[in-house]
Structures are given as structure tokens and as C-alpha cells.
Amino acid sequence: MRYSVKIKGLRVTVSRYGGEPDYSVEVEHDFERFRQGDVEKHRFDLRDHVEAQIVERVALLFPAAFRALEEFCSAHQDFLDPTLVRFDREVQFYLVYLAFIERLGKAGLGFTYPEVSGDSKEVSAEDAFDIALANKLTIEGSGVVRNDFFLSDSERILVVTGPNQGGKTTFARMFGQLHYLASLGLPVPARAARLFLADRLFTHFEREENIATLRGKLDDDLVRVRETLEAATPDSIILLNEIFSSTTLHDAKVLGADVLARIIELGSLGVCVTFIDELTELGDETVSMVAGVAPDDPAKRTFEIVRRPADGKAYAWAIAEKYGLTHDTLKRRVAR
């Protein structure tokens, strides 16, 4: 198809080509003598307006050709292989992820392709860290604390206790990240890791009350936990972060023990962050891990989560903080 475009002022005329000379070549030749080097371009994108209307008028000049083109596109609109389309979309994510972790690697944070299994629930990780927190800290120029964990034999649930702001929630999030990233075939944030390929990953982290549900905090916790337990399977991973914290210690202990007993019976892997030390002693399936503090200053957090028996101080510290009875708070009050 050959056609002519004539522009005069603001009027654009499209017609069949009739052998007219191409004046654009002559214009470029005449103005070439005035060229003084490359200049900044001040071109406007008119494709959404002028060029589109030109094509519409060309279609009116050659209806048969454009009708054939439309029929061809309609007949072959599904010619792209679904696998190639999916790969084209997903490979962009993988490349961006690799670029993202390369920056963290330059900050001294290691990543590894983990050993994975769909059968063995003996999981472990060395020098693992939360990738979201690591990204924030490296931007700020701060160091990143790394932690280890392992589950062997009949062990299934890591029960994490310790003071507030000690890294317990971050540890639970890290555990979930490791398994989720491994399921995508990605390098995980750890020096070495052996992980389980779960069918689903369930999380229960604190969130603001939703007045639209007409449920209180405890009621909302119970509903969400029940939905998780109903949907989970022996091949699932369940992360629980300070559930039932809005009720009394006795009720939280009873409810928490019942939930963990259900998870143990189910056989799922999980992490439970809690202030209740008794939940670490429900059986061989539970493993106690404690958020550490500096030996010479209990108020200073090390952010290291260590595998050892709960020391019985986590809930007491939480109560003291809640009612302003910590050492630092009392010193400030007495000083007044």
C-alpha cells in the first residue's frame, strides 16, 4: 500500500499515491548546509492523535487489505504459547530479585539456594535474616543480626519467647520468608538452609480491629485461628505471632495450648511467638527459643534468637512495661 500525506497549515490530507515527488528529501538536502552539529530535540509525541487518524484514513483507502489484517489477527489471537507468556512475565520478577539481592550481597549478607524436600520436615538454616529488615538496615548503614534454627526428629514448632522489641516477630517472619522464597526457586537469605516445600503458608500477625466485623480483639483472634486450622494440612506452615494477647494470662495459656495441640496433632510446621513460657513445654514437638538480652544490661536487646529453655521472665517483663514498672521507668519517676 502506498499513499500520500499532504500537510498544509493545520490540515492533513491522506490520499492514494499518484506519483507525487517526495519533497521531504529536497527539504532535508536544502537545510543540511545550515547544520551546526547535534541539537536538543523538541519533538512532540503525536501518535495518539495525528498518526492514529492518518492510519484510519489509510484504512478507508484500502478496506480489503485492512479487513484481511483484522481477520488474521482475530484468527491467531491465541498464537502465543501460554508457557512462553508466563515465562516472559515471571522471568522479569526473577531478574529483579537477583538484582535486589546483589546489593544486599555487597553489604556482606549471604544468599544460598537451599536444599528442599517435600517429605522431610527436618528443616534448618544458618546465618538467616529477614530480607525486608535487612534491606532497610543496609540503606541506613546499620548491621544485620543473623540467626540459626533447626528442627529434627519429631520437632515441629519453634516457640519463641523473650522481651518486647527483641526480634521475635522478625524471626517468625524470617522463617516464613525462607520457605516462601524457596518454594519460588529463589536463593534464600541464609548462609545454608534445608527447607520444606509446604502446600500453603498461613500467618497470624496482629492487626487493627475492624469495626465492620463487630468483633473484639479476642473474638477476631479466635475466628482467624479457626479458619487457619480448618484450612491447614500436615504439609502446611503456620506462623502465629502473639495470639490471644488481649485476654488474661490464664485464658491465653489455655487457648494457646489448645491451638498448639491442634497443630501438633495435624503435624504442620510452625513458629509461635508468645509471652507464655508454658507453651514451650507441650511435648517433644515444641522447641523453645528465646530472644536474647545483654548479660550486663537486661534492657538492651541483642536480637539473637537462641535455642534454650524459656527463663520465665518474658511475661513478667511485658507486665512491668505495660504498667510502667521497669527499672528505667521507676528511676525516671523517682527522679521527679
For the entire predicted model, the pTM comes to: 0.71
Q: 68 and 128 share a domain?
A: no
Kindly state whether residue 38 falls inside one of the protein's structural domains.
Answer: no
Residues of the chain with pLDDT under 50: 214
Q: 229 and 315 share a domain?
A: yes
Q: Are the C-beta atoms of 196 and 237 separated by less than 8 Å?
A: yes
pLDDT of 224 reads: 92
Q: 68 and 94 share a domain?
A: no
Q: 58 and 111 share a domain?
A: no
Q: 49 and 193 share a domain?
A: no
Nearest-angstrom CA–CA distance, 253 and 249: 6
pLDDT of 318 reads: 61
- Distance in Å from the first CA to the final CA of the chain: 91
Q: 57 and 123 share a domain?
A: no
Kindly state whether residue 35 falls inside one of the protein's structural domains.
Answer: no
Q: 60 and 135 share a domain?
A: no
Q: Are the C-beta atoms of 240 and 259 separated by less than 8 Å?
A: yes
Residue 146: count of CB within 10 angstroms of its CB: 20
Nearest-angstrom CA–CA distance, 179 and 200: 10
Q: Are the C-beta atoms of 137 and 187 separated by less than 8 Å?
A: no
Q: 20 and 164 share a domain?
A: no
Domain with 330, as residue range(s), is: 85-335
Q: 60 and 116 share a domain?
A: no
**Which tens digits make up the pLDDT trace of 155-165?**
999 999 988 88
Q: 9 and 149 share a domain?
A: no
Nearest-angstrom CA–CA distance, 281 and 171: 20
Total structural domains in the chain?
A: 2
Q: 58 and 195 share a domain?
A: no
Q: What is the CATH number of the domain that holds 275?
A: 3.40.50.300
Kindly state whether residue 37 falls inside one of the protein's structural domains.
Answer: no
Q: Cα–Cα distances in Å, from 122 out to 59, 114, 154, 173, 208?
A: 67, 13, 8, 19, 35
